Structure 1
Amino acid sequence: MLVRFCLRISILVIFAAFASIGFGKGLAALLSMSVVLCAVIATIWREAPFGTVLNHWDETVAYAALFFLVSAFNHFVPV
């Protein structure tokens, strides 16, 4: 899961760098879509939210935390 998370974050950062709405807003949008995607995948695969191994629910929480962090600093980023 950690390798998958790091790979997805690097891809999201690359796509956000070329976003026409700006890096901060683009990254926030991509992170919010990742939260929804991981939650849907975890629901389809019926993964336990508090399992003993890392799964898509943990990845969802990590994306959500990064989304709120980027959203907090998004107001200070000049457009």
Structure 2
Amino acid sequence: MTSQTHHPATQIGPVPDNLESARAKLVYIYLEASGGATADELGEFLSMKQINTLSVLNSLSKNGYVEQSGSEYVVAN
């Protein structure tokens, strides 16, 4: 397992108003605060099952809130 370099945010912006799911908000905030994470890291740190983590990431990606860069997910600009 290779370690990825994350660039934590110095300031976290507001959560998009369109995010209604508590899990989606939690994942979004974690990704913004940490600077990015893999699906496995998200599941581990947020105590989420892998299927739930992947479902949330898929939804956030489809709606343009996060982007995948290699195996890591980051908040979209």
TM-score (norm 1): 0.32
TM-score (norm 2): 0.33
| Relative contact order higher in (CA < 8 Å, ≥ 6 apart) | 1
Which has more radius of gyration? 1
Higher strand share: 2
